[in-house]
Structures are given as C-alpha cells and as structure tokens.
C-alpha cells in the first residue's frame, strides 16, 4: 500500500514506526495488524514496492526453511496473513496439498510477501527515512523522511512522531576489497550475486565464467550456469575461501540453534564468548543445502557418461589477493591457496561474486541518537533480550532492531524461521502486554549447564541437580 499521510495525522504520535519493509518488518506489520484493538503503527520503505532478492529468484530455487516459517504462523497460526491464507486466496490449497512441498520455491515466497504488502494497511513505499532523533520535551522520537516520486526523486518532506522505532533496513551486498574497483567500474563484467538474474544473459554469453563464494547462492548460480552451458565446453571456475564445498548443518538437533531457546542462551553468554562463537558456526548458515550439492554432482556426473570430464573447475581453500583488467574484455584474478601457500593467476571473461551480505549501515540515520546509544567493547550497539538498543535511561521510548543483532543474539538473527517469534517479542515489549503468548520452551536441547533445586527436599539436604546427565 503506497500513499501519503497528511501532516496533521503525522503530528499525532504513533505507537510504532518501522523503517524498512523487508520480510522482517512485514512480519511485524502483519502481526501488529492482528492485535485486538490495534496499535498505531506505520512503516516506511525507500523502494517503490516490496522486493525480496529479485536477482536470486532462480527457477527451481527453494527456501532453506519450511513454509511454516512465513511472516506470522509460528506466532499466530490463525492469522489472515499466513502462507496458507495466501494459497487459499489464490485457490491453490489443494494443488499445494498434493504437491507435498515442505520447502517452497523462493519465487513463491516473494509472491506471498508481495500479496501481503499490497493489502496490509500502514505500509508507505517510496518513503526514504533520513534521520531519527529523540525529542526530550515531547518524549517522542522524530522520524524525518523524504517522499519519492516514481523516478526516485524527492517529492516532499515529512516528519512522524512515535513512541517506538523498529529498524528493519536489512543488509547490502558485500564485495571484497580486491574486487571493489572492478565491481564499481562501468562495463566490467564483475557482478554481485544479488544482481545475477539481471546479468544472466551476459554471463551465459561469456566465454569463461568464474563464480566466487561457497554458500547457497554461489552453489545455485554455479548449478544454473552449468545446466545452461554446453557439455564439454562449460568453461566455469568455482572458487571459495572455505576448506570445502560443505553442506549446511540441517540435522534436527542442529536446527535447534535456530530456536528461541538457543537465542536466549546465546544472548546471556559473555561478550568475548559470543564474538568467538559466531565465526565458528559458519556451517549453520553459510553452507550449501544437501539437495543442491547432490544436484551439482549429478549434473557433473551426467556430463561424463560419454567419456571425458566437464570443463568445470571447483576449487575450495582459495582467496583472491588482487584483481585487474586484461586488455579491455577480460579480468585477471590473482589467487592464493590457503593451505598450500601457492599462488596462480586465472583469466576469465566474467565474475559472479557470491560473497554474501553485510548489515546496512545506519550510523548516518541514527546520528541524532548517538549521544544516547550504548556500545560494547568492539564499538557495536548493545541490544537487550527484547531486541531493543540499549539507550540512556533518559530516553523513555525504545528502538528495536531486526536482523542487526547477530553479535548479541546469534546465528538466528537473519533466519526467516525466527521472524514471527522476534516480531511477537517486539510487539509484546511495545504494548507492555502479551498479545502474542510465546512458548517457554522450544528445543529438546538444553543449552548450557543449568541447575535446579528439588523444593520438597529439606534445606539442609538439598543438592544441585544437573539438567543434563554425564
């Protein structure tokens, strides 16, 4: 829903202003809409409409979480904004039932989110938030924004007042330093995976293509290019820094790292322990789906049936030291093998950087709050268990964050499966009530060595009983 709000309405304070409309704030908006009696909430997004990784909606690619990890179901299964409600509105419930798909296509998830975004009230697309400040006299946050026209040009300025803010601005593509000059140069065929589909025809026409990155996006792009290029003349390199093209941890107990139980456990750990733990857990969220790995191997194997090997090179344990242009049409990558310590050069016609994403910087937007923000020893914002930035006690409002708290809440921060639970946690905090009762326990695993006392035993005979057995 796109529209303008009269300034006299903006002067009336909101209970909540959401900045950014990706899946996480869309989840928040959908659950806020379901609170009995409602809350005054509005959301602003710079883009003209909802978009979710349009460059990676590769045909056949699926979500890595089940369809139950939609915007609302794990907090409110009866919500009219569930994925099943979307299917019902499209008269597709029976086809979905017989398809027996637990993991839906990525394009279908995008279509579902757009369906919600086009019907849910309180969403303002084409609105760029410029700054957030605390007004101590009014005891409210001031949110200044610029309304954009259809060409993305400034059309009008506005200001909203709110008791609470929720930042959901998402992430942005990360390009390693050695490749930034080439990726930023016009006309050079070095693209981030976020823009893959926009450049797919160029990549298919290239004589030789190099894919860099060992995560799910890199694997899906390598597979898509491999399937589309002629057997025996594939001319593809797939390079990665990781020691192997490794599967994502997807065992049932392993997945319990993406439960609220683990999130609470992680948040309570000392800061140095959290900082050391996150990089070690890369395979929980940066590995490759086992079905995708199998499909890649099957495709490579199929191309050996009549003798010979496909012209595809898969090399892990490699980093790009530097990169440059060769003549006017090619790119030269200077490589180093991390275990061998050897170096080599690779000349290629196009490069796809499946190098992931980083949190979108909000320092400029939140500059007005800087005097009130509290930081950890590494200079990062402190975030409490309710996803609130830790602010000076003089600030009576709250600024919540979505997918900007991996350093305090762990690997589940960007996971779609925790979206509804986090949104419900935020709304419970904002309302001071419990419109969404949340489960006390969500995992069979007990994270950490906790103790409990048996109250029926006399005090002098009580012993601490471990919850885990040796």
Residue 193 resides in a domain? yes
Residue 271 resides in a domain? no
Same domain, yes or no: 57 and 114? yes
Residue 272 resides in a domain? no
| Mean pLDDT for the stretch of residues 354-370 | 95
Residue 310 resides in a domain? yes
Q: What is the pLDDT of residues 376-388, one digit of tens each?
A: 999 999 999 999 9
- Range of 40's domain? 7-170+360-431
Same domain, yes or no: 130 and 156? yes
Same domain, yes or no: 97 and 224? no
**Domain edge (last residue) among 357, 372, 406:** 357
Q: Which residue has the tokens 């050069």?
A: 345
Residue 270 resides in a domain? no
Q: Is the pTM of this model over 0.85?
A: yes
CATH number at residue 123: 3.50.50.60
Residue 254 resides in a domain? no
CA gap 220, 245 in Å, rounded = 12
Count of domains in the chain?
2
**Domain edge (last residue) among 335, 357, 379:** 357
Q: What is the pLDDT of residues 388-421, one digit of tens each?
A: 999 999 999 999 999 999 999 999 999 999 999 9
Residue 447 resides in a domain? no
Q: What is the pLDDT of residues 182-209, one digit of tens each?
A: 999 999 999 999 999 999 999 999 999 9
Same domain, yes or no: 137 and 156? yes
pLDDT on residue 451: 52
**Domain edge (last residue) among 357, 389, 411:** 357
CA gap 61, 292 in Å, rounded = 9
CA gap 401, 413 in Å, rounded = 10
Residue 324 resides in a domain? yes
Same domain, yes or no: 123 and 191? no
Same domain, yes or no: 194 and 109? no
Same domain, yes or no: 56 and 148? yes
Q: What is the pLDDT of residues 130-169, one digit of tens each?
A: 999 999 999 999 999 999 999 999 999 999 999 999 999 9
Query: Does residue 124 carry a pLDDT above 60?
Result: yes
Same domain, yes or no: 347 and 411? no
Same domain, yes or no: 204 and 353? yes
Q: What is the pLDDT of residues 83-100, one digit of tens each?
A: 999 999 999 999 999 999
Same domain, yes or no: 81 and 202? no
Question: If you average pLDDT over every residue of the chain, what do you get?
Answer: 93
With cut-offs at 50, 70 and 90, classify the pLDDT of residue 450.
Answer: confident
């Amino acid at each position: 829903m796109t529209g303008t709000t009269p300034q006299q309405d903006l002067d009336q304070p909101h209970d909540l202003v959401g900045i950014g409309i990706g899946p996480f704030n869309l989840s928040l908006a959908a659950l806020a809409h379901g609170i009995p009696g409602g809350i005054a909430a509005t959301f602003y997004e710079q883009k003209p409409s909802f978009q979710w990784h349009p460059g990676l909606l590769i045909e056949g690619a699926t979500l890595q979480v089940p369809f139950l990890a939609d915007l609302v179901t794990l907090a409110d299964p009866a919500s009219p904004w569930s994925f099943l409600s979307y299917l019902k509105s499209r008269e597709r419930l029976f086809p979905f039932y017989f398809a027996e798909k637990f993991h839906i296509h990525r394009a279908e998830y995008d279509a579902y989110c757009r369906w919600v975004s086009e019907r849910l009230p309180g969403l303002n697309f084409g609105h760029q938030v410029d700054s957030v400040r605390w007004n101590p006299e009014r005891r409210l946050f001031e949110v200044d924004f610029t309304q954009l026209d259809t060409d993305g040009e400034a059309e009008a300025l506005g200001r909203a007042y709110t008791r609470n803010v929720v930042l959901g601005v998402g992430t942005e593509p990360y390009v390693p330093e050695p490749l930034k000059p080439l990726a930023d140069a016009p006309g050079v065929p070095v693209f981030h995976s976020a823009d893959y589909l926009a450049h797919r025809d160029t990549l298919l026409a290239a004589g030789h293509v190099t894919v860099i990155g060992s995560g799910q996006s890199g694997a899906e792009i390598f597979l898509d290019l491999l399937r589309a290029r002629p057997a025996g003349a594939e001319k593809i390199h797939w390079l990665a820094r990781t020691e192997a093209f490794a599967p994502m941890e997807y065992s049932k107990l392993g997945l319990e790292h993406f439960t609220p139980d683990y999130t609470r456990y992680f948040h309570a750990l000392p800061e140095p322990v959290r900082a050391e733990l996150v990089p070690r857990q890369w395979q929980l969220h940066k590995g490759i789906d086992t079905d995708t790995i199998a499909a890649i191997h099957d495709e490579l194997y199929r191309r050996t049936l009549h003798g010979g090997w496909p012209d595809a090179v898969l090399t892990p344990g490699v980093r790009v030291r530097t990169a440059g242009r060769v003549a006017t049409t090619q790119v030269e990558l200077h490589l180093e093998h991390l275990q061998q310590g050897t170096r080599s050069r690779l000349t290629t016609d196009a490069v796809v950087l499946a190098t992931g994403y980083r949190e979108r910087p909000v320092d400029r937007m939140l500059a007005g709050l800087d005097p009130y923000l509290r930081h950890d020893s590494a200079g990062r914002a402190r975030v409490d268990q309710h996803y609130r930035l830790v602010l000076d006690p003089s600030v009576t409002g709250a600024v919540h964050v979505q997918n900007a708290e991996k350093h305090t809440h762990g690997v589940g921060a960007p996971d779609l499966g925790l979206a509804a639970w986090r949104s419900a946690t935020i709304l419970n905090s904002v309302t001071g009530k419990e419109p969404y009762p949340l489960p006390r326990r969500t995992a069979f695993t007990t994270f950490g060595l906790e103790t409990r006392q048996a109250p029926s035993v006399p005090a002098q005979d009580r012993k601490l009983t471990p919850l885990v057995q040796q």
